[in-house]
Amino acid sequence: MKIRDSGMPDVTTWAAFFDAPNLLDRLDFTDTRATVVDFGCGYGTFSLAAAARTTGTVYAFDIDPMMVKATLERAGSLGLANIRGDLHDFVAQGTGLPDCAVGYAMLFNILHAEDPVGLLKEAYRILCPGGKVAVTHWVYDATTPRGPDLSIRPRPEQCQAWLQQAGFELVIPFVDLPPYHYGVVARRPGDS
């Protein structure tokens, strides 16, 4: 199921919105052996940045075959062999990954979905105890160059509440990611 009010601009425009390595630093991605899941990988902007800093597998999920193909092609051109592209409807079917199999989950610009808590519960299920989930979204401002309609665009406090509802503990309640984004980092309770 495609996330409502989603769509991707061309890859150059999209890449100009982010400094992906810096974003991962700010969102507490520190485990150089972590298995990672990117829910809705798009062009692989964040999957590629994660794969460059971990020896673990990076699962790049997307419902759009062109996005999965683009991610894998970009990974190949960069010599990143630890990305597994997966054409998969994780909204309707979950990830298919086993329980407690992942160290870091990325839900970037996706929690405007119809069931954000359901997506976060799937992230919780697959994360190991102590594993982290990072959320980013467009700021709540109609002047951003992209992003979902304001009527469904979540504010930071909504993301925080959804994370807690899904069972997570907040680690970094708010990260300013100028000019157009913010982030939240949480963890699955328990030892890592």
Residue 147 falls inside a structural domain: yes
C-alpha 69/C-alpha 37 separation (Å) is 17
Residue 3 falls inside a structural domain: no
- The number of folded domains in the chain is 1
Q: What is the CATH number of the domain that holds 175?
A: 3.40.50.150
pLDDT digits (tens, 9 = 90+) for 96-140: 999 999 999 999 999 999 999 999 999 999 999 999 999 999 999
Position of tokens 């890592």?
Answer: 192
Residue 43 falls inside a structural domain: yes
Q: Which domain holds residue 89?
A: 11-187
- Residue 171 near residue 185 (C-beta atoms within 8 A): yes
Position of tokens 């105890």?
Answer: 129
Residue 5 falls inside a structural domain: no
pTM of structure: 0.94
Residue 30 falls inside a structural domain: yes
**Structure token digits, residue 30:** 């520190």
